């Protein structure tokens, strides 16, 4: 199976609508092709977001009333106790118009949120790649220290911003060092934490005015990634730590922000 075939069948695979043979072929291709795996992860994230209860929207009474008032009163007149043909048509139109208006409003609300996973997936891949690279090479840390007052000053003069650095040793997530890294075409700060035998990379750089949501992005590499905005910084946390523990750690960072 090639990439074009996989993209056609990807939605059916996600919704469980394929026969067993096609389903297995698509799954095998996704596992072997990083590009299609990334697209599949984006579709899966979008599907999850669309199921969020926060996207359910009940049209306010004022909106319904506004639509009804826009229809001429004569259009809904009744004849012999029954709706006129024109009135019946208008009533049907109202029934369709209200859901369509609601749908339009939902599109304005949902579109930016459902696009976010797709836009952020590239960054997530960069972050995970940098995390994996730091573990494979001997470049996990440029400065090795559990003292935040040593790690934070080390970045002075090396970056055009000062990342917030906190040690969470008392919570079971000790700071062990920091290094310079390169994400999204710019130098960034990478803070290194540890939890048991698990290494946690925290990448930080200025937000430049934009905001990022606190949202886990699943990647094809099997790592958990958490993104948030902390003290004016884009903050990306990545580790093979289980989601519950990573959420706990991310919560500590958010609390400090």
Q: Quick one: which of 177, 127, 189 has its CA closest to 151?
A: 177
Question: 173-195 pLDDT, tens per residue?
Answer: 999 999 999 988 889 999 999 99
Tell me what pLDDT residue 116 has.
Answer: 47
Q: Quick one: which of 165, 207, 203 has its CA closest to 187?
A: 203
Helix (H, G, I), strand (E, B) or coil at 163: coil
Tell me what pLDDT residue 230 has.
Answer: 84
**CA–CA dist 192, 154 (Å, integer):** 14
Taking the whole predicted model, whether its pTM rises above 0.85 is answered as no
- 107 CB-contact burial (10 Å; exposed 0-12 / middle 13-18 / buried 19+): exposed
Tell me what pLDDT residue 215 has.
Answer: 55
**Tokens in use for 60?**
């306010």
Tell me what pLDDT residue 202 has.
Answer: 96
> What is the H or E stretch that residue 3 is in?
helix 3-15
| Positions of the chain with pLDDT lower than 50, given as ranges | 75-76, 79, 81-82, 111-119, 211-213
Tell me what pLDDT residue 114 has.
Answer: 44
Tell me what pLDDT residue 35 has.
Answer: 81
Tell me what pLDDT residue 52 has.
Answer: 60
**CA–CA dist 212, 222 (Å, integer):** 22
Say what the alpha-carbon torsion angle 72, 76, 78, 79 is, to the nearest 10 degrees.
70
Tell me what pLDDT residue 207 has.
Answer: 85
Tell me what pLDDT residue 79 has.
Answer: 46
């Amino acid at each position: 199976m090639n990439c074009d075939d996989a993209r056609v069948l990807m939605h059916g695979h996600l919704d469980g609508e394929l026969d067993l043979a096609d389903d297995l072929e698509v799954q095998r291709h996704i596992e072997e092709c990083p590009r299609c795996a990334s697209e599949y992860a984006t579709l899966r994230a979008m599907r999850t977001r669309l199921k969020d209860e926060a996207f359910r929207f009940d049209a306010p009474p004022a909106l319904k009333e506004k639509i009804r008032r826009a229809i001429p009163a004569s259009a809904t007149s009744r004849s012999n106790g029954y709706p006129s043909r024109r009135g019946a048509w208008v009533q049907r139109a109202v029934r369709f118009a209200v859901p369509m208006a609601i749908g339009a409003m939902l599109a304005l609300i949902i579109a930016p949120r459902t696009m976010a996973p797709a836009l952020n997936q590239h960054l997530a891949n960069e972050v995970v790649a940098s995390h994996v690279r730091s573990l494979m090479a001997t470049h996990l840390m440029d400065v090795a220290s559990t003292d935040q007052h040593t790690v934070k000053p080390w970045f002075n003069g090396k970056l055009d911003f000062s990342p917030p650095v906190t040690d969470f040793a008392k919570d079971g997530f000790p700071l062990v060092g920091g290094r310079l890294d390169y994400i999204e075409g710019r130098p960034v700060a990478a803070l290194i934490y540890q939890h048991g035998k698990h290494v946690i990379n925290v990448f930080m750089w200025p937000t430049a005015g934009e905001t990022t949501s606190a949202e886990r992005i699943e990647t094809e590499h099997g790592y958990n990634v958490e993104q948030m905005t902390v003290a004016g910084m884009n903050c990306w946390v990545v580790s093979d730590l289980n989601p519950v523990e990573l959420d706990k750690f991310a919560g500590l960072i958010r609390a400090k922000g």
